[in-house]
């Protein structure tokens, strides 16, 4: 939120004005860096997971574990009826579409780094949806950054070394668009607890993900029977560490700091993710992938900073 203080105008009345966003305390700075490392690990452990489980089955199992963990925390709390359509949209896009497409992309790809970079398309997608759905203004600087982000992905897509990964890049683009769409629904759920949103998301995703697995996959039961400690550990990490601990931890930072203070740190997530993929899978992205990735990261960072600054300026002026 924008922190405000009171000043007096010429009539002596008190009026609010925005203060400069306070820098993070050292402890919180360490926290946000660790959270970005946790978020970055999601793609590496996801790749390990779909190496044993079929992707839709893995997503369904992850949702089931997360639901079991969240039920005691939100106790089936529902928002008022007027918000049910937004909650249903959030659950469908975030719980089902995002993870189904993401794990499918991780299964299809031979190299994880481009997939991690492709997730950053959710930022320009969210801005475009904000323009089309919410009629939010988009300045020329934001348009340039959006075009740069998509150009970076095109650079990656035309890398000859990734010619066999184009279906995976398409799947992660669907995941990124679904994530952006989920943020539109989430805006209509302000005031609803994070536990309730994520709890209903996890519960509602089990059935559609399970049906997708039954319709398009085989070998699910064999994968469950033969799963060892590594496979179950990967599932627990995806459900509990990334989705539960990571998001709740990040939510606590949003309650203490302005969005403009927190948002820039999201650029660290793909940095950690790519570094982990190199360590775990011994990947060596090509120069073309590095160039495209740098363009995408710089552009999404710019979009985040510009749109967050503009939004908080509009809020401050409205007060």
Residue 116 in tokens? 């991690």
CA distance 173 to 170: 5
Report helix, strand or coil for 169: helix
Between helices 166-187 and 140-157, what is the axis angle to 10°? Answer: 150
CA distance 125 to 149: 10
CA distance 90 to 112: 27
| Mean pLDDT for the stretch of residues 33-61 | 96
What is the pLDDT, as a whole number, of residue 12? Answer: 46
- Residue 292 · residue 152 · CB < 8 Å: yes
pLDDT digits (tens, 9 = 90+) for 49-63: 999 999 999 999 999
Q: What is the pTM for the complete model shown? A: 0.85
Q: Output the DSSP codes for 78-110.
A: ---GGGHHHHHHHIIIIIIIIHHHHHHHHHH-S
What is the pLDDT, as a whole number, of residue 140? Answer: 87
| Mean pLDDT for the stretch of residues 163-180 | 92
Where are the alpha helices (H) located in the chain, listed in sequence order? 26-50, 55-74, 84-90, 99-108, 112-118, 122-133, 140-157, 166-187, 194-216, 220-226, 229-236, 247-254, 259-262, 268-281, 287-318
pLDDT greater than 70 at residue 16: no
- Residue 120 · residue 176 · CB < 8 Å: yes
- Kindly report the backbone phi and psi dihedral angles of residue 8, in degrees, each rounded to the nearest multiple of 5, phi listed first: -115, 135
| Mean pLDDT for the stretch of residues 84-93 | 95
What does pLDDT average to over the chain? 86
């Amino acid at each position: 939120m924008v922190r405000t203080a009171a000043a007096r105008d010429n009539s002596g009345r008190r009026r609010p004005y925005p203060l400069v966003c306070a820098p993070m305390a050292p402890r919180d700075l360490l926290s946000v860096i660790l959270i970005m490392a946790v978020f970055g690990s999601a793609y590496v452990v996801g790749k390990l997971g779909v190496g044993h489980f079929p992707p839709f089955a893995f997503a369904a199992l992850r949702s089931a574990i997360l639901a079991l963990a969240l039920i005691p925390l939100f106790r089936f709390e529902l928002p008022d009826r007027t918000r049910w359509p937004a909650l249903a949209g959030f659950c469908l896009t975030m719980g089902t579409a995002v993870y189904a497409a993401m794990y499918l992309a991780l299964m299809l790809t031979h190299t994880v780094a481009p997939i991690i970079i492709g997730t950053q398309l959710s930022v320009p997608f969210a801005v475009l949806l904000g323009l089309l759905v919410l009629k939010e203004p988009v300045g020329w600087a934001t348009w340039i950054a959006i075009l740069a982000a998509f150009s970076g992905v095109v650079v990656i897509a035309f890398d000859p070394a990734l010619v066999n990964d184009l279906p995976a890049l398409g799947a992660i683009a669907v995941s990124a668009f679904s994530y952006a769409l989920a943020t539109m629904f989430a805006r209509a759920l302000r005031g609803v607890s994070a536990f309730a949103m994520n709890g209903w998301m996890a519960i509602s995703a089990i059935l559609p993900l399970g049906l997708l697995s039954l319709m398009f996959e085989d070998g699910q039961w064999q994968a469950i029977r033969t799963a060892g400690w590594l496979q179950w550990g990967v599932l627990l990490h995806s459900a509990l560490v990334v989705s539960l601990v990571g998001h709740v931890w990040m939510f606590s930072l949003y309650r203490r700091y302005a969005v403009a203070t927190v948002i820039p740190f999201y650029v660290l997530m793909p940095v950690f993710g790519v570094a982990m993929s190199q360590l775990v899978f011994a990947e060596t992205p090509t120069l073309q992938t590095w160039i495209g990735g740098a363009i995408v990261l710089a552009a999404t960072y710019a979009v985040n900073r510009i749109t967050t600054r503009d939004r908080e300026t509009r809020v401050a002026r409205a007060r």
